[in-house]
Amino acid sequence: MLICIVGTQCSGKTSVKQYVQSLGFQEIVYDASGSAEEEYEYNDFSKLLSHVTQNWLKDFVCTSLNDLGMLRACAQRPFFVLLSVDAPVITRWKRFEQKQVLDNMRITNISLNMKIRYTSIESPGLEQFIQNSDKERFGPGLAGRDSLNDILQSISHVSITNDFPEIAPLHDHLASLALTNPERTRPGWDDYFMVFTSFSSFPAMQLYETPCRSGPSTQQTSRLDGVISPTIPTCLPRDLTLYPIRYNGTPRGLVNCNQGGCKRCNGTAKSGEAYDSCLCLHAEENALLEAGHDRVGENSTLYCNTCPCLRCTIKIVQSGVTEVVYNKSYSMDEASASIFKEAGVILRQHSPPRDYPI
């Protein structure tokens, strides 16, 4: 695994790096102007990347890569994780002042021992520190460095807010993130399928999905569901093979919800109420109908981002699905859970990592 750490000044990148090193990671350094005399120091990025690629079973940590192009090249590797470290500006300012005091004391002691006259470095004020921080985050940054925002907007990452007053709670927080978990670079099946139910709810993703009706209307150029309520996608894999991804919406041939087709969805009914007047199929129902009983069969797991309602629950049981995995709770959780339990269908809640994809 290769963990690269980026972050704002005095956010605690070194402390995070030292924690990662305590897990057995070897620090690897990139310095374009350096001599690269040490074993794990490189002044040629291509050689650094080649080394970690050839030794991908080993663990490396790096804090010296701040170029977006280089980090993108690293992100192409299936063993790469990007950590972003930040802290409130006042917290970072206080750390900066403390660091300046310690640096001055250290250099003063050295100059006294060597009998050299030394004038202490005057620390810049808070306003200057904030201006430097803004340049670092938003650009234009230092020569040869991309802005932190450009990096974080381009590459998936794990975010760490280091406002801890001491090292111990920071280490506890880092331990809770399970940074070395193999699923950070290769998601488990639950995370893999659950992410489909999250990504598929984004309009940009829906452009590439098949609609649950006969075809999108002219009004459905950016969304495949005309439903007014939140889009609730569902996927139905069998033996780890993904079949349909479907959404909530009116049946084929009917007027879409965003055109007033369903009075319940266009009205003021609360979640879980007035379903007797709702014309929409739920995402779970759409997935079951699309798959058909023969493709559902044994070993089928239904993934949905919301716990199924009661009416979907009885259809899921009837279809032969053996397990249901959901992310968010719903108003009918207890009733649905009771039906699933009686029918012998496994029901469990699973939340994919917040910082996906990794």
Contact of 249 with 282, CB cutoff 8 Å: no
Mapped onto helix, strand or coil, the DSSP state of residue 50 is helix
Active-site residues: which are they?
284
The reply to whether omega before 124 is within 30° of 0 (cis) is: no
In sequence order, what DSSP letters do the residues of 102-144 get, joined into one string?
HHHHHHHHHHHHTT----PPPPPPHHHHHHHHHHHHHS--STT
Angle made by CA atoms 64, 94, 104, in degrees to the nearest 5: 75
What amino acid occupies position 301? T
Helix (H) or strand (E) holding 149: helix 148-154
| Antiparallel, parallel or unpaired: β 241-246 and 234-238 | antiparallel
Cβ-based neighbour number of residue 123 at 10 Å: 16
Contact of 94 with 17, CB cutoff 8 Å: no
> How many residues in the chain?
358
Closest by alpha carbon to 88, among 163, 171, 165? 163
Q: Which residues pair with 347 in a beta bridge?
A: 324
* Residue bearing tokens 């201006």: 131
